[in-house]
Amino acid sequence: MDQDKTRDWKFLFNLGGIAALLATFVFRRNLGAELLLLRGLGLSAVPEKLPADAAGWFALLHQQPLVGLTLLEALDLVEYALVGLIFLAVSIALWKVNRSALLVAAVGGWAGIITYFASNQAFALLALSERYTAAATEAQRVSLLSAGEALLAVYNPGVLHQGTGIYICMFLVPLAGLIMSLVMLQSHIFSKATAVTGILANGVILCYFPVLAFAPSMLALPYVLSAPFRVAWYFLIALKLFKLGKGA
């Protein structure tokens, strides 16, 4: 990217770099899984396993709202917003390398992110849990439980199979990252290490779907294997975007 164009996009590159650092160190995906690991270290506020029904989630959200929201992956909303900024900045940086591929990646990635925002039911369940606690009659509680079960049919981290929207997001966002990483290989803007790390991070997470179909007992494996690559990818992207923001 030439110097004049780099200066034009300085703010976006710096913003993308900040987003990448936050995604690396603060708002990592699946913080709920990390929180569950703390149960073994004596953190009694964390349940032994995730609730599977509305009554269980309402009880957890009433007693420990922050823990409940974390386990419902509310913080992933922030992480996906950060990823959206990263994708935008990377697309601009690589735009002249392969415009058609980047257009597909950016549109697909943002479509997946928007779908996730529409599918995550954490705050809606929190609101229902407050109403359930304050309900004066059994009829009201039954009605609120039914509403909660309807939300959990869209997204429930406590069960194996999720609603369609979550699967769309889990496919489109890593696919967008994989396409961008392949474009990085064609350019001299991002390093080969950044490109290869992105290919591994996004390629491994896409293995979620064959594992879901053929080995559901190992469903956590794609997340565990891809996590270090994803963290490293975001960090390497951040370093390069800051350099682009400085006009380097």
Q: What is the pLDDT of residues 221-242, one digit of tens each?
A: 888 889 899 999 999 999 999 9
102 and 189 assigned to the same domain: yes
The total number of structural domains in the chain stands at: 2
Confidence of residue 175 (pLDDT cuts 50, 70, 90): very high
Cα–Cα nearest to 152, from 162, 160, 140, 166: 162
Quote the pLDDT of residue 31: 60
Report pLDDT for 36.
Answer: 57
97 occurs within a structural domain: yes
Task: Give yes or no: residues 114 and 13 share one domain.
Answer: yes
d(CA 19, CA 182): 21
| Same domain membership, residue 36 and residue 12 | no
Task: Kindly state whether residue 90 falls inside one of the protein's structural domains.
Answer: yes
Give a yes or no: residue 192 inside a domain: yes
Quickly count: other Cβ atoms within 10 Å of residue 162's Cβ: 18
Where does a domain end: 154, 172, 204?
154
Domain assignment of residue 8, yes or no: yes
pTM listed for this prediction: 0.87
Per-residue pLDDT, 125: 96
Euclidean distance between CA atoms 88 and 12, whole angstroms: 8
- Tell me which residue range forms the domain holding 109: 1-27+77-120+164-248
pLDDT > 60? residue 32:
no
Domain shared by 146 and 198, yes or no: no
Q: Are residues 208 and 177 in the same domain?
A: yes
Residues 92 and 147 in one domain: no
Residue 53 burial (CB count, 10 A): 14
- Show the tokens assigned to 67: 């823990």
Sign of CA dihedral 25, 30, 35, 36: negative
Asked whether residue 127 is assigned to any structural domain, the reply reads yes
| Residues 144 and 226 grouped into a single domain | no
Mean pLDDT, residues 40-58: 75
Identify the DSSP state of 45: T
Shared domain check, 221 and 114: yes
Residues 65, 172, single domain; the answer is no
pLDDT score, position 193: 97
Supply the pLDDT for residue 35: 55
Domain end marker among 109, 132, 154: 154
More confident residue, 3 or 138: 138
For residue 175, the number of C-alpha atoms closer than 13 Å in the C-beta half-sphere is: 18
The DSSP annotation for 86-110 comes to HHHHHHHHTTTT-HHHHHHHHHHHH
Instruction: Kindly state whether residue 191 falls inside one of the protein's structural domains.
Output: yes
How many CA atoms lie less than 13 Å away from 217 in the CB half-sphere?
0
Beta carbons of 173 and 113 less than 8 angstroms apart: yes
169 and 212 part of one domain: yes
Over residues 157-169, the pLDDT tens digits come to 878 888 899 999 9
Question: With contact defined as beta carbons under 8 Å apart, do 201 and 233 qualify?
Answer: yes
3-state secondary structure 167-220: HHHHHHHHHHHHHHHHHHHHCCCCCHHHHHHHHHHHHHHCCHHHHHHHCHHHCC
Within-domain flag for 159:
no
State whether 130 and 233 are in the same domain: no
Residues 20, 134 within the same domain: no
Percent of the chain with pLDDT over 70: 89
Structural domain ending residue among the three candidates 154, 177, 200:
154
Summarised one tens digit per residue, pLDDT across range 67-100 is 889 889 898 999 999 999 999 999 999 999 999 9
Indicate whether 68 belongs to any domain.
yes
